[in-house]
Amino acid sequence: MIGKAALPRTGFALFAAAALLIAAEPAYSQPLELLMVNEVWAPYRIGDNLSPEAWTGIDIDLARELERRMGVTITLRYAPWARCLEMIRLGQADILTGVAWTEERSRSMRFVPTSYSSVRPAFYAASGRERIFLSYEGLRSLRIGQSTNSAYFEPYNSDGNLNKISLKDEETILRMLEAGRIDVAVGTEPNLAWDTARFGFKGRLVRTEWQPEGETGLYVVIPNRSGNPGLAERIDRCIREMLADGTLEAIHGKYR
């Protein structure tokens, strides 16, 4: 009877080792197609909600550089900010940029360790009311407009004794501020400066005299259970390279 020839012991060992290497090869060795969700937030994402493929800005340049360095394709889709966060939590999108770290968020999504940018928390009021409050404690008597599901600075984020009015976006916040339906708006710079100019409020809405100290780092986040092993590490390596070689500084310089 002619049977199947047995592999020599040495040949079998080499075959087994090769099989293990193939099995251990990470999934990201193949070209990846990644979905990045976000909303308009100048100067990080500049454009309109209907045409995310035509957006420009810091985050868009960052995404294109990640594509080049990682050999992946990143498709951009618009969603309101609260929906973007939920899509990452549920694993329905691969990448979200411009996320400030909070303890709560860190439990439901994975932060790429290295911050790629930072913003300064800021308050705006109607022109002539720059001194509407002169310390953090002065906020307690005011109606404060803020963007839904956004984080700004501590202790503001966790302060449950402030009258915070959550609104869908910065444009709505600024329009309500000009109409006197809120007393101050909280946001970040340079974003509020861009928005007051592009929505026609420059000179009518201004920064208050008191401003929070410090900056807030912005991060890339991915789902906790990403289907792309090693994705966070690869993105982090690219961000650190871009910080070291001046690429990120040059990107920010385009939008100052």
Q: Which residue has the higher pLDDT, 176 or 20?
A: 176
Query: CA–CA distance from 96 to each of 15, 87, 168 (Å)?
Result: 42, 9, 18
Q: Which residues contact 213 (CB under 8 A, 6 or more apart)?
A: none
Specify the DSSP class assigned to residue 219: E
Same domain flag for 65 and 97: yes
Task: Over range 198-205, report the average pLDDT.
Answer: 96
Same domain flag for 72 and 113: yes
Instruction: Write the CATH number for 49.
Output: 3.40.190.10
Cα-Cα-Cα-Cα dihedral sign, residues 54, 239, 170, 210 = negative
- 24, pLDDT greater than 90: no
Domain around 157: 119-207
Same domain flag for 94 and 112: yes
Question: What is the model's pLDDT at position 217?
Answer: 97
Establish if 12 belongs to a structural domain: no
Establish if 203 belongs to a structural domain: yes
Establish if 19 belongs to a structural domain: no
Same domain flag for 66 and 127: no
Question: What is the model's pLDDT at position 227?
Answer: 84
For residue 128, what pLDDT band results from cuts at 50, 70 and 90? very high
Establish if 192 belongs to a structural domain: yes
Q: Per mean pLDDT, which range of 22-26, 96-100, 145-149, 189-193 is the poorest?
A: 22-26
Q: Which residues contact 16 (CB under 8 A, 6 or more apart)?
A: none
* 197 SS3 class: helix
Q: Per mean pLDDT, which range of 35-39, 122-126, 223-227 is the poorest?
A: 223-227
Question: What is the model's pLDDT at position 11?
Answer: 43
Task: Over range 171-183, report the average pLDDT.
Answer: 97
Establish if 224 belongs to a structural domain: yes
Helices marked H in the chain: 9-24, 58-70, 81-90, 103-108, 170-178, 191-198, 231-245, 247-254
Strands 143-147 and 184-189: parallel
Establish if 80 belongs to a structural domain: yes
- 131, pLDDT greater than 70: yes
Establish if 4 belongs to a structural domain: no
Question: What is the model's pLDDT at position 32?
Answer: 83
For residue 183, what pLDDT band results from cuts at 50, 70 and 90? very high
Same domain flag for 105 and 126: no
Same domain flag for 144 and 86: no
As to burial, measured by CB atoms within 10 angstroms (0-12 exposed, 13-18 middle, 19+ buried), residue 55 is: buried
Straight-line distance from the first to the last Cα atom of the chain, in angstroms, rounded to the nearest whole number: 81
- 181, pLDDT greater than 80: yes
- 140, pLDDT greater than 60: yes
Establish if 243 belongs to a structural domain: yes
CB 122 within 8 A of CB 209: no
For residue 211, what pLDDT band results from cuts at 50, 70 and 90? very high
Report the distance separating Cα 205 and Cα 175, nearest Å.
10
* Whole-structure pTM value: 0.83
Question: What is the model's pLDDT at position 31?
Answer: 60
Looking at the 3D structure of the chain, how many domains does it have? Answer: 2
Same domain flag for 126 and 106: no
Same domain flag for 190 and 220: no
